[in-house]
Structure 1
């Protein structure tokens, strides 16, 4: 078995001292950019990976990022966070970092859990998931001077781009805007929307893309709402379709999630309009299996963006920001996955 490369090997290939390599690994901000690039190239060439335990002893850092994993609740939408955590783990490993997954059922319980991890020196940074209006976790982390980035915007403010913390998110409005434009061109002018009750966050953002696109085109189509979940969406749309001419008046339906899209797709099939174009959001395996077009969030790009914000584009340690550093934001634009007519579900 070949001997793994050492710091000395990296230094020799890069033409620098061992200390310079150590500085690039542990304090990259003090190294000139040109030198840092040479060392980074040598690390990549040799596939060198720092020994995490040894680095922890030298730097008093854990080389670990904590990320919250929501409790399992069933359904078809949880796959998005699973993909995000998987991608985050892979990309962090490439930078010599580890991911520590913790669970908590409430924000208060999560802050208590994080307090233990921080006080024990077990994590260098946190990735916050599932942000919501009035989220207390971000302010609490800032008060502890713990580097963090949230997957999700700080909903509820007048201008989220002026938020006091760093975040990465998916542009939901851009996704439904693309979906609505496609439906208008491929199916007709009566493109409805099936969304959640107003939440001041993700659901409203996705609905905005549909509404703005329809307004720009000077078109009017119905908007329906239901709680999240395949069964309840199917029951809701079955009831609506049975009321009269609603189904006949629809050319297509854009949905806030795949769970709602699958429910609407099945309800339309039950009512004799199996060919009604339905577009979901999340691009889950269930949507793929049923041949339902859907907006792909690309959680892998979100994971890469989160690490870039925490560590810099090529960093191997968490960058400690000064109190005067402006927070940074990344908005990932999703893409529409168009699928042909799916299998017969009647």
Structure 2
């Protein structure tokens, strides 16, 4: 094979930024760039910001990561962990990370967890990729206006998302659980058990996951022919005290105290909200299940301990599907997967 001509070599060099280019653009030494990428704790904050801006502007990718990207085979994938969720109580993303980590060795890879930067949504992704520790990412906690998918696409970084890419319906790099179907099943279950007034306790409007689950509640009411109005709903953030207060207001509007035992119920967008509903039911001197039905979502360990009926997410299946999608051979078009949840029935939805 003949050697490349000087012109082609120059063209190749010009097309890919080097660490020297980054150093020159940031006005620092090569060693400072290396420290910024591998040991950012050694670099002063203003200098680190200048280097990372140059990395972003030049779209610099360390050689080890570039080689892995060309192979389209991840030896490690990054996963952003968010420690700021209020009242976690067995947050579903904790379980997903565990399942993702457990299944990783089967593929000869591992998970690199990193914390978010509250001032820059993509900073953690940029820094983790630049460090050479990963060559792809598994996203979670997707939401409207999420800048991460577009940033990863622009930088040609492999990724898969646990949760739909809500603002980009044409993207199919995701695996999700059908929350709408889960809430429909929850309402159908309550109707079969004889509850006829079923309210909804969800998150504030605007959460794509929460809105999807609320739509399932509305669907379920219509399918069961129940008379409960879709307006008989309350909302709260993921906080136990707020959930308890919101559930109390909802139970009052539903007339839980005045109506016959076993006729009123509440379906919830999460197990944490459902725990608030259990507290509110007991505060009224009523018994969950016997007097007021309560159903949660996520089927956490806490739900099992509290005898709470809950929609079970097939998280282990989601983790396996995420790895298959991320590690698919180059050129394989990703096919989105919407998994069906099931209902774990316990005492909180057993009247009488």
TM-score w.r.t. structure 2 length? 0.71
8 Å contact kept, 1:168–1:306: yes
Change (3 A) 1:154 1:248: farther
Q: What does the per-residue CA deviation read over 1:154-194, in whole Å, with 9 as the maximum and x for residues that have no partner?
A: 2246xx3xx22401111001111111110000133222221
Q: Are residue 256 (structure 1) and residue 265 (structure 2) matched?
A: no
8 Å contact kept, 1:261–1:280: yes
User: C-alpha separation between the residues in 2 aligned to 1:60 and 1:238?
Assistant: 52
For structure 2, list consecutive stretches of 5 or more residues without a partner in the other structure.
1-66
- What residue is the counterpart of 1:96 in the other structure? 108
Picking from 137, 147, 150, the partner of 1:139 is 150
User: C-alpha separation between the residues in 2 aligned to 1:244 and 1:200?
Assistant: 24
8 Å contact kept, 2:90–2:301: no
Give 3-state SS (helix, strand or coil) of 1:232's partner: helix
Alpha-carbon RMSD across the aligned residues, in angstroms, is 2.6
- What residue is the counterpart of 2:122 in the other structure? 111
8 Å contact kept, 1:230–1:260: yes
8 Å contact kept, 1:283–1:297: yes
8 Å contact kept, 1:155–1:200: no
What are the equivalent positions in structure 2 for 1:291-302 lying under 5 Å apart? 291-302=307-318
Deviation at 1:278, TM superposition (A): 0.3
Q: What does the per-residue CA deviation read over 1:118-148, in whole Å, with 9 as the maximum and x for residues that have no partner?
A: 2333212110111001111001000111110
TM-score w.r.t. structure 1 length? 0.72
Change (3 A) 1:119 1:335: same
Give 3-state SS (helix, strand or coil) of 1:328's partner: coil
8 Å contact kept, 1:62–1:121: no
For structure 1, list consecutive stretches of 5 or more residues without a partner in the other structure.
1-54, 313-318
Give 3-state SS (helix, strand or coil) of 2:214's partner: helix
- What residue is the counterpart of 2:234 in the other structure? 225
Q: Are residue 238 (structure 1) and residue 212 (structure 2) matched?
A: no
- What residue is the counterpart of 2:78 in the other structure? 66
- What residue is the counterpart of 1:19 in the other structure? none
Larger radius of gyration: 2
- Structure 1 residue runs of 4+, over 6 Å off? 59-62
Give 3-state SS (helix, strand or coil) of 1:277's partner: strand
Change (3 A) 1:156 1:290: same
Deviation at 1:272, TM superposition (A): 2.2
Give 3-state SS (helix, strand or coil) of 2:180's partner: helix
- What residue is the counterpart of 2:95 in the other structure? 83
- What residue is the counterpart of 1:271 in the other structure? 284
Give 3-state SS (helix, strand or coil) of 1:146's partner: coil
- What residue is the counterpart of 1:320 in the other structure? 330
